[in-house]
A = this chain, B = another copy of it.
Amino acid sequence: MARSITILGAGLVGSLMSVILSKKGYRVTMYERRPDMRSATISAGRSINLAMSARGWKALDLAGLRPEMEALAIPMYGRYLHQPDGTSAFQPYGKNNEAIFSVSRGELNKKLMTLAEKEGVKIHFEHRCTHVQVVKNEVHFELPNGEKKELNADLLLGADGAFSALRSSYAMMERVDADQQYLAHGYKELSIPPNADGSMRMERNALHIWPRKNFMLIALPNTDGTFTCTLFLPFEGETSFAQLTTKAAVTTFFETHFPDAISLMPTLLEDFFQNPTSSLITTHIKPWHFQDKSALLGDAAHAIVPFYGQGMNAGFEDCTVLSSLMEKHGDDWTTILNEYDQKRKPNGDAVASLALLNFVEMRDKVADPSFLERKKIEKELGKKYPDQFISVYEMVSFSHIPYRTALGCIRAQDELLEKIMKEESTDEKIAQWVNQYHSTVQQLDFEDGN
């Protein structure tokens, strides 16, 4: 008989996993800390919108939710750079007009919850998991009125986010390695409304970036004609949130660094002082599972910074990997969870590193003329050697190549492009270098064997 499954967290990853499990015939119960976001007006979580790419779509296919979400997703075909001198530039993400998609976190989460219930999943809201007795698989909850509850889980999945109670409970056990590192930067969400006629105030099909070396502003389009902007800035120091405590300081800061943006932000000061300044955490834990009893997925296993737009995509890929392991191993959960941990943990570590590295790229390198030149060469290589050259960005965002392979290719890609940009390069030499790069990718991908 199929085991009964308890999921902590009805966020994106928990809800999607519950749908996949229900479709496979498992009885699933989900416990969520917050009230039902479909009836209450609450924040959807960490950010208003997110960037869906290949790994996310693949998981939505499994849930059967792709067509419905595609109708609500705004394709972003590249980065729209807003330079300090007022000029702008567009950098396409892919060579074949590929896009990443701006999606409302709240809408996606609500649809997943409704679909889950349709599939027979029972969701208990306002159940905050305080801790788990891991060996006994005993889950403890606290309700808003202070009431305490406990249950014995058969199979427990922790999709309860960056501050996961299951993760903390693992970390209390002997020989569990764990770490949490905060970025020196925080972030604050701001907004650009539509014009009076409803039209958008900037290019709709792009991810806007104002790269300013040690800080940056970005903006993603929403279906209601607004843009959600996010300012990433150090908490402390000369140019930091700590300095922006008065309306005058904020105005001066935006006028100095983002003159083209401030003119589009009539509610800047209200937004700035009303919205929280949030922190950015990266976490690692080892192992990700306990026997055949429990496992972590999504942010609970690997909270990462948002700079590659891969947080949700990585969490959804955890679901796809678990799903394919269930197909491979049937009801043998000892093997499923063990293989999930072995295969997936190195990729969780890799996407965490990729996300941290991409912060430097976004806020600093993208504005560099040699970076633009480099991106152009990448694109040309991709067109000339379509079977041999795929850039690291394309691997991460437009393929299902393991994150660890992509991370492993960064150095090879850097070497390839530096050689092309610096040395006397003939067509013959380039062909040879591209071939070397291709071998590296293949070898790494083979080693990962995801």
Contact = CB atoms under 8 A, between A and B. Distances in A.
B174 A181 contact: no
A171 interface: yes
B180 A178 contact: yes
A176 B182 contact: yes
A232 interface: no
Contact of A177 (B175, B176, B182, B235): B182
Give the interface centre of A174, A175, A181, A182 by most chain B CB atoms within 10 Å: A175
Contact of A175 (B171, B175, B178, B235): B235
- Name the prevailing secondary structure of the A interface residues: strand
Given A171-B180, A176-B180, 6 more contacts: A174-B182, A175-B235, A176-B182, A177-B181, A177-B182, A178-B180
Interface of A: 171, 174-182, 235, 279
Contact of A179 (B174, B175, B178, B182): B178
Contacts of A179: 177-181
Contacts of A174: 182, 279
A289 B174 CA distance: 26
CB-based closest 9 A-B pairs: A179-B179, A175-B182, A177-B181, A175-B279, A178-B180, A174-B279, A177-B182, A177-B180, A178-B179
Contacts of A279: 174-175
A179 B286 CA distance: 12
A172 to B, nearest CB: 8
Contacts of A182: 174-177
A97 to B, nearest CB: 41
A182 B179 CA distance: 12
Contacts of A177: 179-182
A174 B181 CA distance: 10
A235 B175 CA distance: 10
Contacts of A175: 182, 235, 279
15 contacts: A171-B180, A174-B182, A175-B182, A175-B235, A176-B180, A176-B182, A177-B179, A177-B180, A177-B181, A177-B182, A178-B179, A178-B180, A179-B179, A179-B180, A179-B181
A348 to B, nearest CB: 16
Contacts of A181: 177, 179
A419 to B, nearest CB: 31
A279 B174 CA distance: 7
Contacts of A180: 171, 176-179
A171 B283 CA distance: 12
A171 B179 CA distance: 10
A179 B181 CA distance: 8
